[in-house]
Amino acid sequence: MWGHNAGTVGIGLLGEFSRTDPTGAALSSLVDLIAWLADAYGLDPMASTGGEQVYWILGADGGIFSYGGAAFLGSTGGMTLSKPVVAMAATPAGDGYWLVASDGGIFAYGSGRFFGSTGSIALNRPIVGMSTSPTGNGYRLVASDGGIFSFGDAPFFGSMGGHQLGAPIVGMEPTPSGRGYWLVGGDGAVFSFGDAGFFGSVGSGAAGDRDIVRLAATPSGTGYYLVDSSGQVLGFGDAPVYGSPLGTGLEVDIIGMAVRA
């Protein structure tokens, strides 16, 4: 439509494809046309426009669910682990992610690199979340009492360790600048550190029978998602909701989420 989606090109194949696939010839012509447009206008057909936010959701069995075009890069689904996977975090470029187990063991996928773990340390409370540095050369782990462990070049800006909490901490998320982060409790309470802004929370009693399991920030840092164990996704600030596993008959609890621009 005129005035919408400026700077974009729409390509369609004529036909009705609800019961049959396009022919091989039609698909070949489509590929040739896209290749010609990419060459003529200097476009990268694999690049992101930067306007679309996509995300992964992590299941309690270590399985990964991808939404909005996010790539599947691997998981611990089907693996036998010493401790269960409890959280995930994406690399800044969105071409990799980490999974962390409750003992602090790290599993790296795609461009995600290993910078250390608490897997061999006796912890007072289990690890429940992680966040990355803006360079992708470090990450932090957070325990359920709000204590934080930093690895690589991930700086420390404060914690909830030693503070009385309404519910245990269940996750953390860095700001895009790397100069702050959020912690989130199972009751939906959000705690901001450094340059992290507050954009809302579930509120006392609003979560109903579902526990909040993760906070994931938008790429702008002016919004975030909260996701509960049923898969319901709630958006705050500039966080649009594209869908969720809620109501799909999923038989595993959701335990995490990550966002990519």
Domain ranges in the chain are 1-47, 54-260
Average pLDDT for the chain: 79
193, 205 contact by CB (below 8 A): no
List of residues 6+ apart from 6 with CB closer than 8 A: none
User: What integer is the mean pLDDT of 52-58?
Assistant: 74
CA distances to 28, 101, 102, 159 from 126, in Å: 53, 9, 5, 15
161, 188 contact by CB (below 8 A): no
In whole angstroms, how large is the CA radius of gyration of the chain?
Answer: 20
Among 3.30.420.40, 2.120.10.30, 3.40.10.10, 2.60.40.1180, name the CATH number for the domain at 54-260: 2.120.10.30
Taking only the tens place, the pLDDT of each residue in 161-200 is 889 898 999 888 888 888 999 999 988 899 999 999 999 9
- Tokens 């992590």 found at: 58
Taking only the tens place, the pLDDT of each residue in 223-255 is 999 988 878 888 999 988 777 666 666 656 676
pTM: 0.65
Strand blocks (E) in 68-144: 85-90, 96-101, 106-110, 127-132, 138-143
pLDDT of residue 3: 38
89: pLDDT strictly greater than 70: yes
C-alpha 70/C-alpha 99 separation (Å) is: 16
260: pLDDT strictly greater than 90: no
